[in-house]
């Protein structure tokens, strides 16, 4: 049986998922709305506030775009009738968690822009750090904004550049010279599907193929869901243009690999465990983290458990390395039963933990209130000892590139020792992943570690632009 106690994980004490982007161009002319819908379902873990789809027919009236978006999960926003009515063989989709800009329908994506050269449909994952300057620059020349999100800035920059540039992909390249920060973009023009990734590679983006259709997706697991084969990742700084002629690549914005700065939390937390990002298995990365915790921070115990979902694989790694049995201690409801405040009920399996010394693996501690409650739950369920191991280093600094790590004064690890944090959350012991292990997790790929050590790949903005979540 499950214990009758539960925890409400507050909206502001766990990291929020990133956004998910998805695009399809079917050269045979088949409608793509349903394919995009299923792709977004596979990416739903990256954003549960809003979602949308925009499609166009490359053989139909040029510039006619059909779109539908709204607040909530994919299965709440789209009906079968909605998808059936969206005729078009090229399209983009988006599932959103807001990191900059309010959580409102106006800020849902994709954005559809009508301008002098035609139409653009744009979906964006990431966070710009020079939004205020660009917004002011655009406003001075007459731009009127319909949203509060930085994605609209990118769309405007592309549209303005297109007036002077010979192609949409050239306009994207021109816009990339001015925007700074983290972004993976999927852009639909009347006859082209374009993918672009920032030069540092903060956010993932990959290419897939199914029959005579090409796909762009945030994670490779979305390709598996629709029966597409993985072709390759879009490289950091690369722009790929998909047309009837195939794939064209522009690498003019690429920088040396030594400067790449992928968000390490894609491997620790954000991405699905069955995803591969830049050739690295997310599942294997989390196993490595768990094994490293067991090697460097061992403890005698009877059971290793993970906090769902991202803590589970790291817990398996800890169990493998330590020889301590792995078990399930928490029951979590399905995604569809979530409510708008993102409160999640966790039940403890009393029989699994009663009378046992438990090692609890979680992906992170932000403010500490959730960890405090989960440790308390295990004790109330009869755990004799609770030892907490975290599969990331302590958060000491905020993030400006799309992860909602708050200001330093709100971080429990800021100006506190590990022993002090251990007492606050009520654990018998506490240990974090060593920073050196992060490079083993990413198989030596360049990563961003700014939230742990304050060494950002780009200078942080002079004014905080990280959105409503920090308030």
On whether the CB atoms of residues 160 and 145 are closer than 8 A, the answer is: no
Going by their DSSP bridges, the two strands 357-362 and 303-306 should be labelled as parallel
Q: Indicate which residue of 19, 74, 263, 448 is catalytic.
A: 19
- The whole-angstrom separation of Cα 131 and Cα 201 is 19
- The whole-angstrom separation of Cα 315 and Cα 326 is 7
- The whole-angstrom separation of Cα 390 and Cα 432 is 5
User: Which of 124, 236, 213, 117 is closest to 171 using CA atoms?
Assistant: 117
On whether the CB atoms of residues 237 and 255 are closer than 8 A, the answer is: yes
Question: 246-251: long-range contacts at Cβ-Cβ below 8 A with a sequence spacing of 24 or more?
Answer: 247/207, 247/214, 248/169, 250/169, 250/173
Tokens of 61: 């009236």
Distances (CA, A) of 110 to 22, 134, 335: 10, 20, 23
User: Which of 234, 240, 212, 271 is closest to 35 using CA atoms?
Assistant: 212
Any bridge partners for residue 115, and if so which? 118
On whether the CB atoms of residues 108 and 71 are closer than 8 A, the answer is: yes
**DSSP, res 62:** T
- Residue whose structure tokens are 């990256």: 46
Distances (CA, A) of 160 to 250, 251, 313: 20, 21, 46
Active site residue 221: no
User: Which of 49, 447, 42 is closest to 215 using CA atoms?
Assistant: 42
**E-state strands within 323-422:** 330-331, 345-349, 357-362, 385-390
User: Which of 193, 181, 118 is closest to 461 using CA atoms?
Assistant: 181
On whether the CB atoms of residues 125 and 402 are closer than 8 A, the answer is: yes
Cβ neighbour number for residue 372 with a 10 Å cutoff: 18
Tokens of 107: 């800020």
Query: Annotated catalytic sites, by residue?
Result: 19
């Amino acid at each position: 049986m499950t214990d009758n106690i539960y925890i409400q994980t507050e909206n502001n004490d766990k990291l929020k998922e990133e956004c998910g982007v998805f695009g399809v161009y079917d050269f045979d002319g088949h409608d793509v709305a349903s394919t995009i819908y299923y792709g977004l379902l596979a990416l739903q873990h990256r954003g549960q506030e809003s979602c949308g789809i925009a499609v166009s027919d490359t053989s139909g009236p040029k510039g006619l775009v059909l779109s539908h978006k709204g607040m909530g999960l994919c299965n709440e926003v789209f009906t079968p009738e909605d998808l059936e009515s969206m005729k078009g063989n090229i399209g983009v989709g988006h599932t959103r968690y807001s990191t900059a800009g309010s959580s409102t329908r106006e800020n849902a994506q994709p954005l559809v822009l009508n301008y002098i050269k035609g139409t653009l449909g744009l979906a964006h994952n990431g966070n710009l750090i020079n939004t205020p300057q660009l917004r002011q620059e655009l406003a001075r020349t007459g731009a009127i904004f319909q949203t509060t999100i930085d994605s609209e800035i990118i769309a405007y920059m592309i549209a303005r550049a297109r007036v002077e540039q010979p192609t949409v992909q050239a306009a994207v390249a021109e816009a990339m010279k001015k925007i700074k920060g983290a972004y993976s973009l999927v852009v639909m023009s009347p006859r082209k599907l374009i993918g672009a990734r920032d030069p540092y590679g903060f956010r993932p983006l990959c290419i897939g193929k199914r029959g005579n259709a090409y796909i762009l997706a945030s994670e490779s697991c979305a390709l598996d869901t629709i029966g597409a084969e993985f072709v390759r990742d879009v490289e950091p700084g690369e722009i790929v243009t998909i047309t009837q002629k195939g794939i064209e690549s522009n690498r003019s914005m690429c920088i040396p690999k030594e400067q790449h700065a992928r968000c390490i939390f894609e491997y620790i937390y954000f991405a699905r465990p069955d995803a591969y990002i830049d050739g690295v298995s997310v599942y294997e990365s989390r196993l490595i983290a768990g094994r490293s915790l067991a090697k460097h921070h061992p403890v005698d115990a009877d059971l290793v458990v993970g906090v769902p979902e991202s803590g589970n694989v790291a817990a398996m790694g800890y169990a493998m390395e330590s020889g301590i049995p792995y078990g399930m201690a928490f029951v979590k409801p399905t995604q569809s039963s979530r409510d708008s405040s993102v409160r999640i009920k966790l039940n403890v399996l009393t029989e699994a933990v009663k009378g046992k010394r438990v090692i609890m693996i979680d992906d992170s501690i932000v403010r500490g209130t959730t960890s405090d409650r989960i440790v308390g739950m295990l004790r109330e369920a009869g755990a004799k000892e609770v030892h907490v191991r975290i599969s990331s280093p302590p958060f000491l600094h905020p993030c400006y590139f799309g992860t909602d790590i708050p200001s330093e004064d709100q971080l429990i690890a800021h100006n506190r020792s590990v022993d002090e944090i251990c007492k606050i959350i009520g654990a018998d012991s506490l240990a974090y992943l060593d920073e050196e292990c992060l490079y083993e997790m990413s198989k030596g790929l360049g990563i961003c570690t700014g939230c742990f050590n304050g060494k950002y790949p780009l200078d942080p903005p002079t004014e905080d632009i990280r959105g409503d979540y920090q308030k």
